[in-house]
Amino acid sequence: MGRTVVSIVQAFHQEQESWRKFRRALTRDDRDAFDRLFEHARRHAAEASYVARPTPFEAVVMAVLLEQEKALAEIRSRLEKLEATRERKPDEDPRLAL
């Protein structure tokens, strides 16, 4: 007897292949960004295997959204730190004093 259920990694690969023509139509920069989306999905393949979703694309999208949210949180944190540093007066931070 063979395997009757496709592994999540195989499903992600099949999903990516189904978008091949779309990818080919993109510019080089957009293709790189597109490829990164599926890298995000593969990074969460283990987690995706725990959910029994009828459409693997749902797991792909959720993994991409998760990675996007993490990236946004990191950017927000860095921005808040930068803004806090700029709001200090020069005499409060010796690095800013002339």
- Give domain status of residue 15, yes or no: yes
Q: 0.85 exceeded by the pTM?
A: no
Q: Which domain holds residue 66?
A: 8-96
Given phi > 0 = left and psi -120 to 50 = alpha, else beta, which region is 55? beta
For residue 30, tell me if it sits in a domain.
Answer: yes
Cα–Cα dist 72/82, whole Å: 15
> Which stretches of the chain drop beneath a pLDDT of 50?
none
Q: Is residue 1 part of a domain?
A: no
Q: What is the distance between the alpha carbons of residues 14 and 87, in angstroms, rounded to a whole number?
A: 50
The reply to whether 2 falls in a domain is: no
Q: Is 18 inside a domain boundary?
A: yes
Q: What pLDDT is stored for residue 87 in this prediction?
A: 82
Number of structural domains the chain divides into: 1
Tell me what pLDDT residue 98 has.
54
